[in-house]
Amino acid sequence: MKLLNVTAGAVIAATGFCSAAFATTDLTMWYHGAGNKVESKIVNQIIDDFNKSQSDYKVALQSFPQNSYNDSVTAAALAGNLPDILDMDGPIMPNWTWSGYLQPLPIPEDHFKDFLPGTKGVYDGKLYSIGLWDAAVALYARKSTMKELGLRTPTLDKPWTKDEFMSALEAAKKSGKFDYAIDLGMSDKGEWYPYAFLPFLQSFGGGLVNRETYDTAEGVLNGDAAIAWGNWWQSLFADKLAPGTSQDPAAHETGFIDGKYAFSWNGNWNAVKTMDKVDDVEFLPAPDFGNGSKIGGASWQFGISASSTAPEGAAEFIKFATQDKYLAEFSDALGLIPATKSAAQMTKNYKTGGPLAVFYGLSEAQAEKRPVTPGYVVDSKVFQKAAADIADGADVIDTLDSATDQINADIKRNDGYKKN
Amino acid sequence: MSVIGSDNRNLRLGVRYLVLILIALIFVLPLLFMVMSSFKPSDELLRDTSSLRAFLPVGQLSLDNYTGAFERAPVGLFVFNSIFVTGTTVLLSLVICSLAGFSFVFLQWRGRDVMLSIILATFIVPFETIAIPLLLEVSKLPWLGLDGLSWGWLDSYRVQIIPWIADGLTIFLFVQYFKGLPGELIEAARVEGASWFQIYRRVVIPLSGPVIATAAILKFLIMYNQYLWPLIVVQQEQYRPVMVGLQYFFQLNPAWGEIMAYLTLITVPVLAFYLVLQKAFIASIASTGVKG
């Protein structure tokens, strides 16, 4: 009887030990790529690979449409229903961190030392998110147009100056061959405005908010440099060099390809499509308006929710997903800029001499993040309106003063967005 | 003289028809554009927007957009979800709101007028203002299902149905209609010894076809077009309705052709539902007009 008890005890203990040893922790993950067949396929592949590679954690994916993703996350946070792993657009990370949605990645930052700066979501000195890719904007042009107009081809080392850029636009206009000299994508309202146009303001020497203190926009968004930017910006539309805010979205989609616009200020995500249809397209760096050539940085990144009970498992997944082979796979499939140089060499477009290699250089050399502050979600909207109003002919100084007041009021209303 | 009169009448008739045709075109052309565009490649579709070709079946026509739409999103699942949620809500709403309307019109109970005023006052509260409090509420509500007691209604059909069953507008429609029914019928039924529920079921409801059709169509449209509420309470794809599904097609480069194909597909149930109920709906509008 005693032997039986001992044996039974041993069996129970062993069963308990085994189940503990082989217990799998379920991790939930949210991703913004619902509806994107290619992206979904790769994300699912990464998750499958991760789940097969070990038995401690099992990741389950839930995909959301990109347009409504932020609303879904915010609602879930309110309802206490966030997943373990979630992805986010880079500029919103500080707000979600400040709102208590995220926790710092339990991964040493050194692990990502080779990653492009735009892919690292650092706030308050801590790494909260990491991206598998970055995005970049360039000036699309045709080699034939450049030659015909007698223009120098700008390089990363020697970009066009403001005068050269404006001469190029004037030359295109005078040629009479184009509806407009440049398509800036004004029909694409939303985050495109600060992402694509804020770098112009920064290159003039202005900005959206004081980046040292993040407590005011005074003197930055309405200072002399910003006013100079506003006057220049308005002149593009007043002089009919670029279609304004009433631009037909259809014209923006196909205008450069159809030859209606000589230049297009466009993202790398449209590069492959354009190369397929325009044989001699080339991608030029942003002009230097006095304070260096600048473009926007930071795209979608992975983070861990504050409510995750298994952050170490989530971190394991993020480390797994950020391997070069997956960065390269994403890049080849979607035309995105891989986060590391070594991954870039594994891609067809971004390897040395590849057709889009220039974008890697642009991202590495020129990318500047949008203001890393929780208030950016408001600042972004304010800038969108100000840029549109100025383009529509509003008084530059009044508009920038008003935008500055709105941003300052928001900062004050939120008690300076003090860190929690 | 009579010839001139006849000419004038014909002219007036002609002008009237011309105006009616123009008004009809305003409503028909967007639908025509949607259907025609659903057969065209995206780039051709965008080019055609600047001409009348946009409304014509010309160019490279194919079913590729429909194939693409089904590959991009689980269209069938989204349509099923919407029809299930909408159908269930409409049915329950008709029962609950008509019962409420009946009690407001025919039954005498304390606080009736105050309660009706409160319900009517909900008209002026936009849903957006209560969306977040309602979200917090439903995320903590208990539910007794086959798996036992659970907490929180998120990610389910019930969270999309139950909060929408009763609403002020539908109750108001029933109240207004019931007030117009002949009181003698109700009194006669009472004299015959019918219970209130029998009167509701055997006398009032059989006479209420037009208002039932109107309420059903209005509720159907509201429910079928739901976007904000399912967006915030449903995180799992298996419960998403068609309007949230539409967002699947808006990528960095929107798939316009597939969007038109998807819109065409999801419009079919709405048109079918309207066609089934249109006679009763028009009768309801007409009777409202006569009363007015």
E strand spans, B94-204? 142-145, 148-151
Distance between CA atoms of residues A44 and A28, nearest Å: 13
Residue type at position A339: A
Contacts of A67 in chain B (CB under 8 A): 247, 250
Which residues in chain B have their CB less than 8 angstroms from residue A252's CB?
none
CB A379 within 8 A of CB A209: yes
Say what the pTM is: 0.85
Ranges in chain A, pLDDT < 70: 1-22, 419-420
Task: Specify the pLDDT at position B173.
Answer: 95
- Whole-number Å distance between alpha carbons of A25 and A316: 12
Q: What is the pLDDT of residue A15?
A: 47
What's the pLDDT at A420? 59
Helix, strand or coil, per DSSP, at residue A83: coil
3-state secondary structure of A105: coil
DSSP conformation class of A293: B
H or E segment at B135?
helix B127-138
Burial class (CB in 10 A: 0-12, 13-18, 19+), B84: middle
Nearest to A35 among B43, B132, B249 (CB): B249
CA-CA-CA-CA dihedral for A153, A158, A159, A165, to nearest 10: -70
Query: What count of Cα atoms within 13 Å lies in the side-chain half-sphere of residue A56?
Result: 8
The pairing of strands A25-31 and A57-63 is: parallel
Closest CA to B166 of B262, B100, B258, B87: B100
Contact A254 B233 (CB under 8 A): no
CB contact under 8 A, A34 and B248: yes
Helix, strand counts (H, E) of chain B: 14, 2
Interchain pair B139, A80: CB under 8 A: yes
State whether residue B249 sits within 8 Å of chain A by CB.
yes
Q: Please give the C-alpha separations between residue A188 and each of A231, A384, B116, in angstroms, as whole numbers.
A: 22, 11, 47
Question: Helices B64-72 and B256-291 meet at what angle, rounded to 10?
Answer: 90
Task: Determine the Cα–Cα distance for residues A14 and A8; give it in Å rounded to an integer.
Answer: 10
Do B247 and A65 make contact, defined as CB atoms within 8 angstroms?
A: yes
pLDDT tens-digit profile of A90-133?
999 999 999 999 999 999 999 999 999 999 999 999 999 999 99
Mean pLDDT, contiguous 10-residue spans, chain B (292 residues): 71 94 94 96 88 93 96 96 97 97 95 95 90 95 91 95 96 95 92 95 93 93 96 95 95 86 95 84 64 40
The reported pLDDT for the residue numbered B278 is: 81
B contact residues 250-289, partner A, Cβ 8 Å cutoff = 250-253
Q: State whether residue A137 is helix, strand or coil.
A: strand
**Which residues on adjacent β-strands are paired with residue A120?**
A130
Mutate which of A67, A179, A195, A274 to disrupt the B interface (most B C-beta within 10 Å)? A67
Residue type, B186: I
Distance, CA of B105 to CA of A39 (rounded, Å)? 57
